[in-house]
Amino acid sequence: MIKNITDLKKADNFFLLAGPCVIEGEEMALRIAEHIVKVTDRLGIPYVFKGSYRKANRSRLDSFTGIGDEKALKVLEKVRQTFDIPVVTDIHAAQEAEMAAEYVDVLQIPAFLCRQTDLLVAAARTGKIVNIKKGQFLSPEAMRFAAEKVVEAGNDQVMLTERGTTFGYQDLVVDYRGIPEMQSFGYPVILDVTHSLQRPNQTSGVTGGMPQLIETIAKAGVAVGVDGLFMETHQDPSVAKSDGANMLKLDLLEGLLEKLVRIRKSL
């Protein structure tokens, strides 16, 4: 079981955070985890299962937010125990940190909340690995200060995630210069491939996406030397209850990872 960042970087490969956007139920989570574990074990990719126990940032009031906090967290725990793998989930308020930390190995700070001092400090004090997503509105340089808040609160287990930068009202772009920039701070840097392809602020009130570019974005990230990749995946993104527009279909993951491993080995 991976307990710290050193464990994630032991393999001569990138590591992977992947899973559904939100926990929709136990069966779907276990099936997704089982599939990815088989693939990553074969390819020698350190793997962390990702699933949000609740989605707090939704475009519309009637958007799906989860199956219930405790129920979803217990699903994450079931995944963790069944496959002996670490799990990551995001938290949205300081009081959630201690609760979520009982079930997961990595606490993720959403991009829109990356400057929230109370949230960062609360996550730090759990002793868990803290993955901070870079705000769509921030420069890579500014993420140094978010990381320092966690370290100064007594926890040096910090990772930073690039997830695209706002470009106009309805688009994001990835500035790959930010990856080595953030790596220079001394923390592992992850590329969130699927969220970087979101098309926010659609008139329908549901975020759009460009999943056809997942392979392009991921290949470029690995070529630049990113430490880890983050991808949301689902058996059938068309019926996913959150972020289906930019998720990778589960049965496409293995072929993509095979290509990415070849790129990594060529560096």
Going residue by residue through the chain, which has 267 residues, state the pLDDT in tens, using 9 for 90 and above. Answer: 666 888 887 778 999 999 999 999 999 999 999 999 999 999 999 999 999 999 776 556 557 778 999 999 999 999 999 999 999 999 999 999 999 999 999 999 999 999 999 999 999 999 999 999 999 999 999 999 999 999 999 999 999 999 999 998 889 999 999 999 999 999 999 999 999 998 876 656 667 788 999 999 999 999 999 999 999 999 999 898 877 788 999 999 999 999 999 999 999
Query: In Å, what is the CA distance from 113 to each residue of 44, 116, 119, 151?
Result: 33, 5, 8, 17
Beta-strand (E) ranges in the chain? Answer: 15-19, 47-50, 87-90, 106-109, 129-133, 158-162, 165-166, 172-173, 189-192, 198-199, 208-209, 228-234, 248-249
Query: Considering the chain, what is the average pLDDT of its residues?
Result: 93
DSSP 251: G
Residues 206 and 59: beta-carbon distance below 8 Å: yes
pTM for the predicted model, two decimal places: 0.94
End-to-end CA distance of the chain: 28
* Euclidean distance between CA atoms 207 and 59, whole angstroms: 7
| Rounded Cα gap, residues 44 and 21, in angstroms | 24
Distance of alpha carbon 147 from alpha carbon 156, whole angstroms: 9
Burial class from Cβ neighbours inside 10 Å (0-12, 13-18, 19+) for residue 115 reads: middle
What pairing do the DSSP bridges indicate for beta strands 158-162 and 165-166? unpaired
Going along the chain from its start, the domains and CATH numbers come out as 5-266 (3.20.20.70)
